[in-house]
Amino acid sequence: MSYILTIVGARPQFVKAAVVSEALSDLNIPEKIIHTGQHYDHEMSTIFWEELNIPVPALNLGIGSGSHGEQTGIMLQKLESYILQEPELPTALMVYGDTNSTLAGALVASKLHIPVIHVEAGLRSFNKAMPEEINRIMTDHISDILFCSSDQGVKQLKREGISKGVFNVGDVMYDALLTFSEIAKQKVSLSDITSLKKDQFILTTIHRPSNTDNEDHLKNIMEAFSKIEQQILWPVHPRNKNKIEQLDLPANLVLSEPVSYFEMMVLLNNCQKVITDSGGLQKEAYWMKKQCITVRNETEWIETLDGKWNTLTGPYAERIVRAVNSNPETNWVPLYGQGFSSSDIANIIKKQLKS
Ligand code: UD1
């Protein structure tokens, strides 16, 4: 086997790559990583690579911000040139999740007849207004090895006519959480991040364009926050910083800079509940046994809805407040594997791509 070429670009992908890279290395499977540069701020990128000890990327494409077409287009061009000037083509190209970096990597590889490995395959929100939904559908349909986080993903791919090369391995983010949350506890304390006290605050992240770029939705979310008793801590995505700071903010809302993965683990561990529109945070809240209120009309992680551990409210004040004032109704059961996803992935890759 020559090497696996991994493409990452956005925050959640750094976390996923950290554990899978380690597992590949444990099996002596050579890997090169390319960072597209989709996320580039220190708090959005560098700090994750440092904390999670991710192997230094062979290249950073330095793409940065831009419209979806522009961002994806430049990635396609730069990735293709990089691959073609390499002395040896990769055995396979691996992508994670559903960002523009995912789609660009998969597309370039498939046009060059390099097998595509998609980690977090088969997820659907059934909302094509989300750029992520387009990215994941396209990526799945040109992938050769598809790693799903649950049986739902396997079933969905089957419905779409994809059954070859599909594996349910659980979720690599669970591996990451199990691996790093104890280290995070030792390295970071709550008081390093905030003056808010354990179990006395709600953690929120809101960054979906459907919420932050729609004035009415943002107003509704602020109204909900103002009616919630607890203090609410919000690490703000840089894209929304200016917009949020100009709003008439409720007194119980505390804004902060984006937090690192370790800081996020510590905040999750110490918060009372989570309000989010992020995909990954819904699962992380579940694994940390925290109730999640999801400010969207749909979720890709439908298993978390059982027993009201996660509630979909959409951007509606009354529904958000009602969900925050309720509690989960069932005992916690493990979801998305047992924390061995990354080693399962590495073993399957080794078998499938035997030279
Ligand atoms: C991207 C993913 C989204 C994922 C999120 C995780 C796509 C389509 N979306 O969304 O699925 O949940 O990452 O965080 O790929 N910006 C900065 N500094 C940075 C990065 C971004 O200021 O380091 C600002 C820029 O103004 C940029 C905007 O954020 O234009 C959007 O960034 P982008 O990476 O395109 O999308 P995200 O909203 O972060």
Query: CATH number for the domain including 221?
Result: 3.40.50.2000
The candidate with the shortest Cα–Cα distance to 61, out of 40, 41, 42, 90, is 40
Cα 139 to middle of ligand 1, angstroms: 19
Cα 38 to middle of ligand 1, angstroms: 7
Would you state the pLDDT for residue 23? 98
Residue 301 Cα distances to 40, 149, 242, angstroms: 28, 9, 30
Contact present, 145 and 123 (Cβ < 8 Å): no
For residue 239, tell me if it sits in a domain.
Answer: yes
Total domains in the chain come to 2
Would you state the pLDDT for residue 91? 97
Cα 26 to middle of ligand 1, angstroms: 31
Distance between CA atoms of residues 262 and 100, nearest Å = 25
For residue 245, tell me if it sits in a domain.
Answer: yes
Would you state the pLDDT for residue 355? 55
Residues 9, 150, single domain; the answer is: yes
Residues 272, 307, single domain; the answer is: yes
Q: Relative to the CA of 65, which ligand 1 atom is closest?
A: 30
Distance between CA atoms of residues 57 and 45, nearest Å = 12
Would you state the pLDDT for residue 353? 84
Q: Is there an atom of ligand 1 within 6 Å of 131 CB?
A: yes
Contact present, 276 and 12 (Cβ < 8 Å): no
Q: Tell me which amino acid residue 312 is.
A: L
For atom 9 of ligand 1, the residue with the nearest CA is 99
Q: Relative to the CA of 38, which ligand 1 atom is closest?
A: 34
Residues 149, 241, single domain; the answer is: no
Residues 42, 65, single domain; the answer is: yes
Residues 155, 188, single domain; the answer is: no
The candidate with the shortest Cα–Cα distance to 325, out of 273, 266, 289, is 273
Residues 191, 287, single domain; the answer is: yes
Contacts with 86 (C-beta within 8 Å, 6 or more apart), sequence order: none
For residue 146, tell me if it sits in a domain.
Answer: yes
Q: Which residues does residue 231 pair with via DSSP β-bridges, in sequence order?
A: 201
Residues 52, 139, single domain; the answer is: yes
Q: Is there an atom of ligand 1 within 6 Å of 44 CB?
A: yes
For atom 14 of ligand 1, the residue with the nearest CA is 11
Contact present, 161 and 332 (Cβ < 8 Å): no
For residue 307, tell me if it sits in a domain.
Answer: yes
Task: Decide: residue 269, CB within 10 A, 0-12 exposed, 13-18 middle, 19+ buried.
Answer: middle
For residue 52, tell me if it sits in a domain.
Answer: yes
**Could you give the angle at which helices 131-141 and 100-111 cross, rounded to 10 degrees?**
20
Specify the long-range contacts of residues 156-161, CB closer than 8 Å, at least 24 apart. Answer: 156/122, 156/123, 156/124, 157/121, 157/122
For residue 329, tell me if it sits in a domain.
Answer: no
Q: Relative to the CA of 12, which ligand 1 atom is closest?
A: 6
Among residues 118, 207, 217, 237, the one annotated as catalytic is: 207
Q: Which residues does residue 276 pair with via DSSP β-bridges, in sequence order?
A: 205, 294
Cα 40 to middle of ligand 1, angstroms: 9
The candidate with the shortest Cα–Cα distance to 167, out of 355, 350, 354, is 350
For residue 291, tell me if it sits in a domain.
Answer: yes
For atom 31 of ligand 1, the residue with the nearest CA is 239
Q: Is there an atom of ligand 1 within 6 Å of 39 CB?
A: yes
Q: Relative to the CA of 66, which ligand 1 atom is closest?
A: 30
Evaluate the CA torsion angle 349, 350, 352, 354 in order and state its sign. positive
For residue 142, tell me if it sits in a domain.
Answer: yes
pLDDT tens for the chain, 355 residues long, are 589 999 999 999 999 999 999 999 999 999 999 999 999 999 999 999 999 999 999 999 999 999 999 999 999 999 999 999 999 999 999 999 999 999 999 999 999 999 999 999 999 999 999 999 999 999 999 999 999 999 999 999 999 999 999 999 999 999 999 999 999 999 999 999 999 999 999 999 999 999 999 999 999 999 999 999 999 999 999 999 999 988 889 999 999 999 999 999 999 999 999 999 999 999 999 999 999 999 999 999 999 999 999 999 999 999 999 999 999 999 999 999 999 999 999 999 999 987 5
Best substitution site from 38, 75, 295, 301 to test ligand 1's pocket, by max atoms within 8 Å of Cβ? 38
Q: Is there an atom of ligand 1 within 6 Å of 11 CB?
A: yes
Q: Which residues does residue 7 pair with via DSSP β-bridges, in sequence order?
A: 34, 95
Residues 199, 161, single domain; the answer is: no
User: Which structural domain range is residue 202 located in?
Assistant: 179-324
Residues 15, 160, single domain; the answer is: yes
Cα 355 to middle of ligand 1, angstroms: 37
Cα 39 to middle of ligand 1, angstroms: 6
Indicate the DSSP class of residue 305. Answer: G
Cα 258 to middle of ligand 1, angstroms: 12
Residues 306, 210, single domain; the answer is: yes
Residues 202, 261, single domain; the answer is: yes
Residues 133, 210, single domain; the answer is: no
Best substitution site from 7, 39, 42, 213 to test ligand 1's pocket, by max atoms within 8 Å of Cβ? 39
Distance between CA atoms of residues 234 and 266, nearest Å = 14
Would you state the pLDDT for residue 293? 98
Question: Is 207 among the catalytic positions?
Answer: yes
Q: Is there an atom of ligand 1 within 6 Å of 239 CB?
A: yes
Would you state the pLDDT for residue 1? 57
SS3 state at 258: coil
Backbone angles phi, psi at 263, to 5 degrees: -65, -40
